[in-house]
Amino acid sequence: MENKNGISRREFFIKASMTVGGIAASSFVPKFGGFASAQATPVLSSQLPVRHLGSLKVSALGLGCMSLAGTYNPPMEMQQAIKLLRDTHELGVTFFDTAQLYGMGLSEEMVGKALAPIRDKVVIATKFGQAPAPGGGGIEINSRPERIKSSVNESLKRLQSDYIDLFYQHRVDPNVPIEDVAGAVQDLIKEGKVRHFGLSEAGAATIRRAHAVQTVSAVQNEYSIWTRDPEHEVIPVCEELCIGFVPWSPLGTGFLTGKYTPTTQFDEKYDVRVTFKFARFTPEALKANWYIIELLQRIALRYEATPGQIALAWHLARKPFIVPIPGTTKLDHLKENIGAVTIKLSASDMEEIETAIAQNGVQGLRIPDEVLQTSDIGAILGTSSEGTHGKTPLKQ
């Protein structure tokens, strides 16, 4: 049976499975602190595995580009960002994720300037619907068709491209039927300005409604070892409809790297974990959740890896259509992240992680409540869109 993505479920899983299976960990050396540091030989472009988001082929690991424009630190200098992005491609990554909102367009500009010379060799995803308001009036959630169609031109200009590979709705708009959103993107696909449609922080009911109008290639929701919101309904509906799943914050806003302890001093001016008062990054929550780092350290020792690499390898082992997009501004962290594709966790490793999380839980909301409430019904832990039409109104 063929899916709206143009492939059967069997073909979807065959394509999605062209990934990390069977590749052994390589060339890591121990470091202080009880776990290892990635010093692997860089994975070349021809060697990096691929995965499929619907019919869209991407590297098994992408690069999240939000932090380039300043999220935890000041924005990178333009030339530094360009170099990092080009180094990322040289190391085999072909999938780059940005948004109109990131740095109020700065992230898109960085991506555009860096990747313009190699545009045909990369996949660029960006997002609409939660972005700077026209005229500099702050941030708006607006997915009205006319705004989608005007904002795509703004993104194309910043990206220095005449097309966008993957165009996500950044957050569902409670005032606009999702069918109107999907229809507007469908028009842009017909015009050649967009190639694939995606949703972010959407629940199953919204995904189904959108997919019925225009094929959804990917859904991007927050997901990691300590954030399990999509497991109840979002990942299952992606599997059913042959839609790729792209976890944002796959390293738990940095926590799963093991770098942040209860005594860590965060940048109070730039770091969103402080400025937005992330509940999981209080000293008390960091202490309560530290067992997760100790768990990852134990598993990392078996593979001569780092906790962060194990956290990324966990994603790759969950489903063959999952493509994590860790962000970084540092080349050594980038190389470490890419090294995760060489690690194949065992069934007992995966079970050990599941058991620990089930027994101990996680202290603190994943993001501040006022931000969380912009997510769809069914995209938030403890909510379900079953029997509802999701957060967006029905089309009249």
Angle at 380 between CA 175 and CA 309, to 5 degrees: 125
Kindly state the tokens that stand for 284: 């008390």
Q: Is residue 3 part of a domain?
A: no
Q: Is residue 204 part of a domain?
A: yes
Q: Is residue 342 part of a domain?
A: no
Determine the Cα–Cα distance for residues 24 and 205; give it in Å rounded to an integer.
39
**What confidence score (pLDDT) does residue 268 get?**
83
Q: What is the CATH number of the domain that holds 163?
A: 3.20.20.100
Beta-carbon contacts of residue 33 (< 8 Å; ≥ 6 apart): none
**What confidence score (pLDDT) does residue 340 get?**
97
Determine the Cα–Cα distance for residues 162 and 85; give it in Å rounded to an integer.
20
Residues marked as catalytic: 102
Q: One digit per residue, pLDDT tens: the chain, 396 residues? A: 556 666 655 455 445 444 333 333 332 222 323 333 434 334 444 468 999 999 999 999 999 999 999 888 889 999 999 999 999 999 999 999 999 999 999 999 999 999 999 999 999 999 999 977 777 667 789 999 999 999 999 999 999 999 999 999 999 999 999 999 999 999 999 999 999 999 999 999 999 999 999 999 999 999 999 999 999 999 999 999 999 999 999 999 999 999 999 999 888 888 889 888 899 999 999 999 999 999 999 999 999 999 999 999 999 999 999 999 999 999 999 999 999 999 999 999 999 999 999 999 999 999 999 999 999 999 999 999 999 999 999 998
Q: What is the DSSP letter of 75?
A: P
Instruction: Map tokens 């299952």 to a residue.
Output: 236
Determine the Cα–Cα distance for residues 265 and 308; give it in Å rounded to an integer.
20
Determine the Cα–Cα distance for residues 245 and 230; give it in Å rounded to an integer.
10
Q: Is residue 68 part of a domain?
A: yes
Determine the Cα–Cα distance for residues 322 and 203; give it in Å rounded to an integer.
17
Q: Helices 204-213 and 234-241 meet at what angle, rounded to 10? A: 30
- Count the domains in the chain: 1
Q: Is residue 307 part of a domain?
A: no
**What confidence score (pLDDT) does residue 269 get?**
84
Beta-carbon contacts of residue 105 (< 8 Å; ≥ 6 apart): 132, 154, 158
Determine the Cα–Cα distance for residues 98 and 222; give it in Å rounded to an integer.
15
Its domain, for residue 116, covers 9-21+43-272+314-329
* H-type alpha helices, 283-324: 283-288, 290-303, 307-318
